[in-house]
Amino acid sequence: MMEKLLGLPVLASEHGKDVDNLIIYVHWLMIVLFVGWIAYFVYVLIRFRKSRNPTADYVGVKNHASNYIEGGVALAEGILLIGFAVPLWAKAVDRFPNETDATAIRVIAQQFGWNVRYPGKDGVFGKQDMSLITSENPLGVDKSDPHSKDDIQTLNELHVPVNKPVIIHLTSKDVIHSFKVISLRVCQDAIPGMQIPVWFKPLQEGRYQINCAQLCGAGHYNMSLGMLTVESQEKFDKCQAEQSKAPSGGGFE
């Protein structure tokens, strides 16, 4: 019910439920605070009206109600932070699934698109080296490495199988971008010179938009052309097999 009221977007990942719950709890707290402050304001208008208080009282309030209420609010905020936000964050950045039980993908952001690399049939990524980068080989893939033969490379098309964890190793070729898929409740900065892993488990098939959540240049909006497709394992395998066969191990679509 609260999801509808807040207009939360479609949810397609496992941990996303916890993100939404946290958003909802924070809104509940804010509703309580909002109503509380308005009620207090109205009370003060009446209680300290001029006709009842003809002369100013410099002692002020003598009871401790406000201290207790303030303590209660701080406690509620502490519970939200320590009980919900921190464990959720720990799960996202600390408890990674095993790479062998997951779909591992490399995403290399650039101005202005998302390069996607799959390891292909052998499950091993071909070597990449900065010194090999040319205009024809923008990601510096070592073509002499046998593991790179079946690697698949696409632009703005990310496919993952449903109900299986996905680990994305994220980096950038130029400036700081941010890989954001709202429906998966995933958002991670892509930073040049760093490879940052991010993981999620998609639970619902569909085609979801990828956005860049950092203003990365004049064509920033073009990065929302990126699409993430969650599909059945069979469809994913078939698609991978087809692309693996393409000359030069895939290439840009």
Counting residues that bind Cu ion (by CB under 5 A) gives: 4
Report the half-sphere exposure of 208 (CA within 13 A, side-chain side): 26
**Piece of the chain touching Cu ion by CB under 5 A; list 125-133, 137-145, 176-184, 233-241:** 176-184
* Sign of the torsion formed by the C-alpha atoms of 159, 162, 164 and 170: positive
Shortest gap between Cβ of 191 and Cu ion (angstroms)?
12
> Quick one: tokens of 72?
């209660």
Q: How far is the CB of 226 from Cu ion (least distance, A)?
A: 10
Q: Which stretch binds Cu ion (CB under 5 A): 89-97, 135-143, 179-187, 222-230?
A: 222-230
Q: Which two tokens stand for residue 229?
A: 């497709």
Using the structure block, give the residue that is written with the tokens 């909002």. 34
Contact with Cu ion (CB under 5 A) among 117, 159, 177, 185: 177
Select 97 or 217, whichever has its Cβ closest to Cu ion. 217
Residues 133-152 within binding reach of Cu ion (CB under 5 A): none
**Candidates 1-9, 38-46, 53-61, 170-178; binding stretch for Cu ion (CB under 5 A):** 170-178
Residue 216 within binding range of Cu ion, rule CB under 5 A: yes
**How many alpha carbons lie under 13 Å from residue 92 in its C-beta half-sphere?**
20
Q: Cβ of residue 30: shortest distance to Cu ion, in angstroms? A: 31
CB nearer Cu ion, residue 114 or residue 236: 114
CA 119/CA 250 separation, integer angstroms: 11
Q: In the complex, what is the shortest distance from the CB of residue 196 to Cu ion, in angstroms, rounded to a whole number?
A: 15
Q: Which is nearer to Cu ion, 85 or 191 (CB)?
A: 191
DSSP string for 213-235: -S--STTGGGGGG-EEEEE-HHH
SS3 at position 205: coil
> Which DSSP state fits 99?
G
Q: Pick the stretch among 33-41, 60-68, 86-94, 221-229 that binds Cu ion (CB under 5 A).
A: 221-229
Q: Which of 223, 240, 243, 250 binds Cu ion (CB under 5 A)?
A: 223
CA 48/CA 32 separation, integer angstroms: 24
In the window 185-214, what residues touch Cu ion (CB under 5 A)?
Answer: 212
Binding status of residue 107 toward Cu ion by CB under 5 A: no
Nearer to Cu ion, 80 or 175 (CB): 175
Least CB distance to Cu ion at residue 48 (A):
54
Q: Closest approach of Cβ 223 to Cu ion, in Å?
A: 4
Please identify, among the stretches 70-78, 79-87, 172-180, 228-236, the one whose residues bind Cu ion according to the rule CB under 5 A.
172-180
DSSP per-residue string spanning 17-36: HHHHHHHHHHHHHHHHHHHH
The H-assigned helical ranges of the chain are 2-6, 16-47, 65-78, 86-93, 233-245
Tell me which amino acid residue 135 is.
S
Alpha carbons 29 and 239: distance in angstroms, whole number: 47
Q: Which residues bind Cu ion (CB under 5 A)?
A: 177, 212, 216, 223
